[in-house]
Amino acid sequence: MTTAQILSQARGEKRTVLTEIEAKQILGEAGINCTRTVLAATKEEAVSLSEEIGYPVVLKISSVDITHKSDSGGVKVNLKSREEVEKAFDDIMTSCKAYAPDADIEGVAVQGMAKMGTEIIMGMINDGSFGPVVMFGLGGVLVEVLKDVSFRIVPIDKNDAIDMTTEIQGRKLLEGYRGQEPADVECLRDILVKLSDFVNATPGIEEIDMNPVFAYKDGAVVVDARIILSS
């Protein structure tokens, strides 16, 4: 489906939270590289898709009613065989139904296991005073502990993106700290501009959260994404 179709369907269903699959489809249409993520409604579909994508894979619960997927036991990573996928599917369903008995569960999202890179967080929030602002920082645990992020009001250009990636305190981690590969900062700046362009052209978005984004020496990929619509 196109971005317009996804947004129209969500609003028609009176939903403000998009599924991860919908969010990644929208970001992909905006030119932002995301891990391929496909819905499996059944255990058999999960196995079939896993074998098509190629092991190892990740399974995540797909439900607009369960936003904290890890807390619900709804994420299983590094699955390397049919047997592991079958067990993971059953475990996810059991755990999530216990965690949220009334949740509408459409299945699991199946995606390839992305190679680890420098963890980045990017996103957008709709500020009450300034309107949409984009955000950039170090992802994973670091964003919660250090809160080392930068913000700019939409729309931004390439120079704004350069400033955002250079003003965070942890910028040395992007340069390749203690033997770690440097991050493709040009690619990250390009994603920021594309994110801003999308938000600027698409009214009714309340929040976008892309965390983590894995940055490599030659590119970057959005591993997890969430989009919330304005109510």
Residues 216 and 159 in one domain: yes
Burial class (CB in 10 A: 0-12, 13-18, 19+), 132: buried
CB-based contact 59:75 (threshold 8 Å): yes
Residue 159 and residue 176: Cα distance in Å, rounded?
A: 22
Domain count, the chain: 2
Helix axes 20-29, 185-201, angle to 10 degrees: 100
Report the candidate in 203, 183, 56 with the shortest Cα–Cα distance to residue 126.
Answer: 203
Domain that holds residue 188: 118-229
Q: Are residues 138 and 173 in the same domain?
A: yes
Burial group, residue 141, by CB count within 10 angstroms (0-12, 13-18, 19+): exposed
Whether 136 and 215 share a structural domain: yes
Domain boundary among 88, 112, 136: 112
Radius of gyration of the chain (CA): 18
pLDDT in tens, the chain (231 residues): 899 999 999 999 999 999 999 999 999 999 999 999 999 999 999 999 999 999 999 999 999 999 889 999 999 999 999 999 999 999 999 999 999 999 999 999 999 999 999 999 999 999 999 999 999 998 876 666 667 899 999 999 999 999 999 999 888 889 887 778 899 999 999 999 999 999 999 999 999 999 999 999 999 999 999 999 998
Which residue, 150, 186, 182, is CA-closest to 168? 150
Q: Are residues 101 and 190 part of one domain?
A: no
Which of residues 112, 146, 175 is at a domain's end?
112
Does 223 lie in the same domain as 138?
yes
Same domain, 75 and 14: yes
Could you tell me the pTM of the whole model? Answer: 0.92
Does residue 150 sit in the same domain as residue 225? yes
Task: Assess whether 193 and 106 both reside in one domain.
Answer: no
Do 94 and 126 belong together in one domain? no
- Look up the CATH number of the domain holding residue 149: 3.30.470.20
CATH number of the domain at 24, please.
Answer: 3.30.1490.20
Residue of 19, 82, 15 whose CA lies nearest to 45: 82
Are 162 and 203 in the same domain? yes
